[in-house]
Amino acid sequence: MSRPAVSLASRRPTRQIMVGKVAVGGGAPVSVQSMTVTKTADVEGTLAQIYALAGAGADIVRCTCNEAAAAEGLARIVPRSPVPIVADVHFHHEMALAALDAGVSCLRLNPGNLRKPAEIKNIAAEAKDRGVPIRIGVNAGSLHPDLYKKHGGATPEALVESAQMELAYFAEVGFDDVKVSVKASNVALMIEAYRLLADTVDYPLHLGVTEAGPPPGGLIKATAGIATLLAEGIGDTIRYSLTADPVEEARAGRQLLEALGLRERKGLDLIACPSCGRAEIDVIGVAKAAQAALEERNLPIQVAVMGCVVNGPGEAREADLGIAAGRHRGHLFIKGKIVRVVPEDEMVEALVAEADHIVAEGVEARLAAADAGAEAAAEDDRRALLEVQGEDVNSSEERIQLIRKKLEEE
């Protein structure tokens, strides 16, 4: 039985800018960003991290430009980078100009820290001449003091007004190659600020919960904010701000977009049941072993690990590939169809081997190569387990009738 199509809210229409060769906004795929934590002057160390981030799914990488040595480092990094480089500038307008000389693809300016109108307009004019876009990076923790006073703190209105002030300076020199962020560490504040911003301007928006903290809490906070807005059609590029290896940021961003159907799956999506008393194996252990083995191959498929064969293959029928345990055997299935029954201690090995075959040959070819008798053997295991464990789903109505009968008798 086919399922009805499910989709998120329509994407908010925006202008489009180009960060190097990566389109942002205007209907382009939502892109993933992260930031290096190395000293930018350390060219080789920074490049190594940029390549690791690109490998984990980052489309754009930001590097700090806080001193002359960092600007010189950018001049050496930019031509060797596999992805566009954004220069992060906070206090010194000279560093923004030096980053432009270094050939970066974009600037990030924090309007709360770089406040002199003449300097801001000078940077915008130079960026315009070079065709380099700028991100207005508003942060709830570093607003202009006048805005804190006017709005009584960091409110959505204060964050959006900060962005509007910067846009006004840019407009004076005819510069509008812009994307905007209004980040906060408070998730509710961040969501409301972006909603207000989306109603106020038509520029592409860079989403993020700033200073989200270390995983797992940081992942939860960042996902809560970013995913909420993406589901509403708001957001054109995203960054997880985690207290962790930035590779985790890039990987999380990519996985979120894939989970929401906003980017084509590039890596593994492993699903697994949470385990229960019906499980015939250590689901957690098998899932971890399968994930470790499959992630090394970076296969763009969805794989399921299920603890029992009573409902497992049915519950995971949409997965490209899966395995369920029963009676000391593993039932290997493709799109819900049993194709092989293997010994329990060979489950992970069989799963990995079949994953390689699916990527190389395709689902239909692997379904055609199913072992004769696999479905019958699997059904024997399933029925035997049903006799011992029962099937909760199918017995629900019987239980309800029993409850009603007893209540009527009382």
- Containing 408, the helix (H) or strand (E) segment is helix 392-409
Using pLDDT thresholds of 50, 70 and 90, give the confidence band for residue 1.
very low
Query: Is residue 312 in some structural domain?
Result: yes
User: Mean of the pLDDT values across residues 318-325?
Assistant: 85
273 plus 255 within the same structural domain: no
Domain that holds residue 279: 269-393
Q: Which tokens sit at 150?
A: 């006017």
156 plus 226 within the same structural domain: yes
- Containing 223, the helix (H) or strand (E) segment is helix 217-231
Cβ contacts of residue 70 below 8 Å, gap of 6+? 39, 40, 41, 63, 64, 95
323 plus 213 within the same structural domain: no
215 plus 325 within the same structural domain: no
Instruction: Single out the residue in 259, 285, 313 at which a domain terminates.
Output: 259
- Cα 340 to chain centroid distance, Å, stands at 34
234 plus 279 within the same structural domain: no
289 plus 383 within the same structural domain: yes
Half-sphere exposure of 333 (CA within 13 A, CB side): 29
Query: Is residue 96 in some structural domain?
Result: yes
135 plus 252 within the same structural domain: yes
Residue 348 reports pLDDT greater than 60: yes
Residue 393 reports pLDDT greater than 50: no
Query: Is residue 105 in some structural domain?
Result: yes
Using pLDDT thresholds of 50, 70 and 90, give the confidence band for residue 5.
very low
pLDDT of residue 3: 39
How far is Cα 265 from Cα 318, in angstroms, rounded to an integer? 15
Q: What percent of the chain has pLDDT over 90?
A: 64
Top mean pLDDT of 59-63, 335-339, 354-358 is at 59-63
Instruction: Single out the residue in 259, 288, 307 at which a domain terminates.
Output: 259
Using pLDDT thresholds of 50, 70 and 90, give the confidence band for residue 299.
confident
Residue 222 contacts residue 212 (beta carbons within 8 Å): yes
pLDDT of residue 313: 66
341 plus 303 within the same structural domain: yes
How far is Cα 144 from Cα 124, in angstroms, rounded to an integer? 19
245 plus 147 within the same structural domain: yes
pLDDT of residue 147: 94
pLDDT of residue 297: 82
- Number of domains comprising the chain: 2
Residue 329's domain is classified under what CATH number?
3.30.413.10
Residue 302 reports pLDDT greater than 50: yes
Residue 27's domain is classified under what CATH number?
3.20.20.20
Which amino acid, residue 390? G
77 plus 183 within the same structural domain: yes
How far is Cα 182 from Cα 139, in angstroms, rounded to an integer? 6
Q: How many CB atoms lie within 10 A of CB 359?
A: 17
C-alpha distances out from residue 227 to 223, 230, 232, 319, Å: 5, 5, 9, 23
Instruction: Single out the residue in 194, 226, 259 at which a domain terminates.
Output: 259
pLDDT of residue 310: 62
Task: Of 138, 137, 86, 131, give the one whose Cα is nearest residue 107.
Answer: 86
User: Mean of the pLDDT values across residues 110-129?
Assistant: 94
- Containing 153, the helix (H) or strand (E) segment is none
How far is Cα 198 from Cα 180, in angstroms, rounded to an integer? 10
279 plus 207 within the same structural domain: no
